[in-house]
Amino acid sequence: MELIIKKRNWTELKAKLRIKYPQLTENDLQHNEGKEETMLRMVEYKLRKTKKEMREIISKIGYLTSET
């Protein structure tokens, strides 16, 4: 299952993540279509979170969909 972050709300999601995790920078959260997994791996590493934890964080904020 591939992770898809809804781009239409990316600015709001990014702001919420930066409030919750002030150590994240604008560069950490650059959204490039099709590169969501790569970005999230870098953010996971920086926050010391697992892939599952990161998906839960984004899902709770309400911006996560998945495609098979």
Q: List pLDDT tens digits, range 31-41.
A: 777 777 888 88
Give the residue with greater pLDDT, 65 vs 21: 21
Domain ranges of the chain: 2-67
**Residue 6 pLDDT > 50, yes or no?**
yes
Give the residue with greater pLDDT, 11 vs 8: 11
| Cα gap 38→15, rounded to integer Å | 19
Q: Considering the chain, what is the average pLDDT of its residues? A: 79
* pTM: predicted TM-score of the whole model, two decimal places: 0.71
Place of tokens 């490039």: 32
| Cα gap 24→60, rounded to integer Å | 18
**Residue 21 pLDDT > 90, yes or no?**
yes
Reference 32, options 60, 7, 55; nearest CA is 7
Burial class (CB in 10 A: 0-12, 13-18, 19+), 44: middle
Determine contact, residues 45/51, Cβ cutoff 8 Å. no
**Residue 48 pLDDT > 80, yes or no?**
yes
